[in-house]
Amino acid sequence: MIVLIFIGLMSTISCNNNNDDMQVPQSMKTERIEHLVLFKFKPTVTEQQRQEVVNRFMALRNSLKDGKTYLKVEYGFQNSMEDVKGNYDVGFRVTFNSLEDRDYYVGKIDGQPTPAAFDPMHDDFKNFVGPFLDVDDPATGGVLVFDYKSNEGGTGSVPETGYRLDHWVLFKFKPGISEAQKQEVVNRFLDLKNGKKDGKTYIPFIEFGYQNSKEGVARGYDIAFRASFTSKADRDYYVGKPFLNDPGTFDPLHDAFKNFVGPFIDIDPQPTKGVLVYDYEVKKQ
């Protein structure tokens, strides 16, 4: 029962920079690569230093590849209500139009040959941010990076303007879970977009993808889902139990999903091993 409660606490960074070079018609987009970065700061890091990290990361949206901007960046501070929210302080959502662009951005990786071309601005940022991260924290390692190729087209920023709250859910499957079972989890999660609130659908966007980061700090998670909401009240209705329990105050479709998915998730020895939720109000600048 405790397991189901923890799994049931599932509800997952993010700012549009509107660079013209990134405004590619959806019909011309062949893929979108999502790059989630979560940081846990050392206890001694000041608010001023945290803000400097945010400012320096957000400045990466001005990075150039072949003389053009090639990525988008958004960010936000964790506001999940759930026990499986981890201890990360700030998250960034970076999007690319190709794996080639993602690889140029990632650039140097310890223990591997230096690539012929890489983003020097991001390389400088990695050197800058290291001293601020709590890499000795066993629960977080100070940083998590999870990349995936989205199943959706377009920018993935829905709605494009106005308030948006993004909800990331990362799962680690139990050993031995079949591909068919994994696909059933995917299908059931994507179907949550049909959930109703006051008789109307209320989740404008859900996407997913399997981990393909090259950086080795995905913390064992296999798959990620990102859902977007247009109000905090909608996110709370989605999360539901144990925070909202009266009929009509929570989404029964999501409640059923939480009961369904538990047996597939690797929660041994603790639920946070198999589930991570990161929520934030998207910061646009």
Between CA 115 and CA 110 the distance in angstroms is: 12
pLDDT at 252: 97
pLDDT averaged over consecutive 10-residue blocks of the chain (285 residues)?
38 37 45 97 98 98 97 97 92 98 96 93 97 95 98 95 97 97 98 97 98 96 98 98 93 97 91 92 88
Contact criterion met (CB below 8 Å) for 84 and 271? yes
**How would DSSP label each residue in 163-219?**
--EEEEEEE-BPTT--HHHHHHHHHHHHGGGG-EETTEE---EEEEEE---SSS-ST
Closest CA to 39 of 92, 84, 81: 92
For residue 206, CA distances in Å to 102, 184, 229, 276, 281 come to 22, 16, 10, 17, 16
pLDDT at 18: 39
pLDDT at 215: 96
pLDDT at 16: 37
Contact criterion met (CB below 8 Å) for 38 and 91? yes
pLDDT at 285: 72
Contact criterion met (CB below 8 Å) for 25 and 154? no
For residue 156, CA distances in Å to 54, 96, 197, 228 come to 22, 11, 23, 9
The set of residues, in sequence order, having a beta carbon less than 8 Å from that of 142 and lying 6+ positions away, is 39, 40, 42, 133, 134, 135, 136
pLDDT at 242: 93
The set of residues, in sequence order, having a beta carbon less than 8 Å from that of 139 and lying 6+ positions away, is 86, 87, 272
Residue extents of the structural domains in the chain: 2-281
Structure-token pair, residue 21: 């070079």
pLDDT at 40: 97
Closest CA to 224 of 178, 278, 272: 278
pTM recorded for the entire structure: 0.88
C-alpha atoms less than 13 angstroms from C-alpha of 255 in its C-beta half-sphere: 16
2-281 adopts what CATH topology? Answer: Alpha-Beta Plaits (3.30.70)
pLDDT at 11: 39
Structure-token match 């989630």, residue found: 36
